[in-house]
Structure 1
């Protein structure tokens, strides 16, 4: 298996790293950020998670919004299966959105709200993925996108990051995929940036630790994760954060004429 094939093997990715992702304090930070932006105009009705992983985001929404209909779109068969077990009332579909969408009956132009969190950095043509995903989205659908900003770590490269995004770069990608961009900013300063600096400083040692199936987090690592969970709940103080986030809308092309 080549290095490129290994870093894009998402069944292996979720089976090996899924538990580590769930312990990651940045995941909770992103879930709060996404939920706030997704729900600010009004209640959720039908939500699609583009690149749903193991269903953590939809599980959080299922608990908080029991009336919302939920759809997960995921490249990995393993992730799709775990998501379906985690959120039994949701529908999880295995899809390669770089190739096609193929919405089942009743799910074309379905979602009133959508999420695409920490996905676009893993693909060479993010506009293509978003254009295919848009087949599941209703006109006017509110989309919240998160991608990493700031420097790329050894672990980021190991798990297949092609690039990190400035707010302007993310805005350009969304506009190129046909979305109207409401906002694009860098969130999380200063504590998310500090968290990312720790990841950067750990370098390849973090890759080795997470790849060791027998390893358990050290007392120091557990203390650091607990501290960052608390710090990442504090308000951000500027738009210089390394968590790039955008809110966009799928326009109603029929209304244009």
Structure 2
């Protein structure tokens, strides 16, 4: 990771209003993004098949895309999403209600200490996907999330690696990660890290290089997208190509740019007499 990758972005979202704008402006672009679909498939595989009745938590649930897809796949689970943006929570609840899904969402600032909501059970399975790069103190965020997790909870974390594009800067990536940094963040937050993978080679890397090559033109195209426009120029072809390619990407390779960690919450220490 270069020094530039570790620097703080002045335009990164820093309060709920910023994040409301983020999801209002870019939520449409995130839906159907081939990289998001690739991550979703990987997370589903790594979380496995939770037993019926288990509680699953999406840490930084955005507009509920993953939490709702997980609830569709496993209707007998209890799915919660916690999100900083009021707009993201509102949209998630609207989508859940429209489909009759029981997934629940709440607004939480995980940079501050938190606790379980009334009726919320600690999660035995959790994910935190593409969240930690958006804050300057990822260790505090993921440490505070432990208040919502049960001892032994199985956690999957994804963060971007490799260089930051102009679009990454624009949407508030404070930093990108390498395997060592991701492991350190989770360990310092009190988790037991089982494995860190450098996933996505070669197609995730190629996808990121394509985003880098487009530079600020991609930002302009996304922001110019009309309310009834589902795609921007060249988007359909790019989605088709990378949607195919991602299925053939490697789960772990030394130069993969999609960082994925599997960790657990340590068991509670036995009481002493």
TM-score range, shorter chain: over 0.9
Q: Which runs of 5+ in 1 are unaligned?
A: none
Aligned length: 253
Q: Which residue pairs with 2:80 in the alignment?
A: 71
State the Cα distance separating 1:221 from its structure 2 match: 2.3
- Conserved 8 A contact 1:38-1:144: yes
Q: Which residue pairs with 2:137 in the alignment?
A: 125
- Picking from 107, 123, 127, the partner of 2:120 is 107
Q: Distance in 2 between matches of 1:193 and 1:218?
A: 21
Q: Distance in 1 between matches of 2:196 and 2:271?
A: 24
TM-score (norm 2): 0.87
Q: Which runs of 5+ in 2 are unaligned?
A: 1-8
- Conserved 8 A contact 1:50-1:74: yes
- Conserved 8 A contact 1:16-1:213: no
- Do residues 92 (structure 1) and 143 (structure 2) align? no
1:136-193 CA distance string (max 9 Å, x none): 0000000000000001000101111111001111000000000000000110101111
Q: Which residue pairs with 1:55 in the alignment?
A: 64
Q: Summarize the alignment of residues 98-177 of structure 1 with structure 2, pairs less than 5 Å apart.
A: 98-107=111-120, 110-177=122-189
- Conserved 8 A contact 2:81-2:104: yes
Q: Which residue pairs with 1:246 in the alignment?
A: 261
State the Cα distance separating 1:100 from its structure 2 match: 2.5
Q: Distance in 2 between matches of 1:225 and 1:177?
A: 36
- Conserved 8 A contact 1:182-1:248: yes
1:73-111 CA distance string (max 9 Å, x none): 000001001111222411101011101213213436x10
Counterpart secondary structure, 1:253 = coil
TM-score (norm 1): 0.92
- Conserved 8 A contact 2:38-2:246: yes
Counterpart secondary structure, 1:47 = strand
Q: Distance in 1 between matches of 2:111 and 2:123?
A: 19
- Runs of 4+ residues over 4 Å off in structure 1: none
Q: Which residue pairs with 1:16 in the alignment?
A: 25
Q: Which residue pairs with 1:224 in the alignment?
A: 238
Q: Distance in 1 between matches of 2:132 and 2:123?
A: 19
Q: Distance in 2 between matches of 1:218 and 1:115?
A: 30
State the Cα RMSD in Å: 1.9
Q: Distance in 2 between matches of 1:148 and 1:77?
A: 24
The farther-off stretch of 219-228 and 149-158 is 219-228
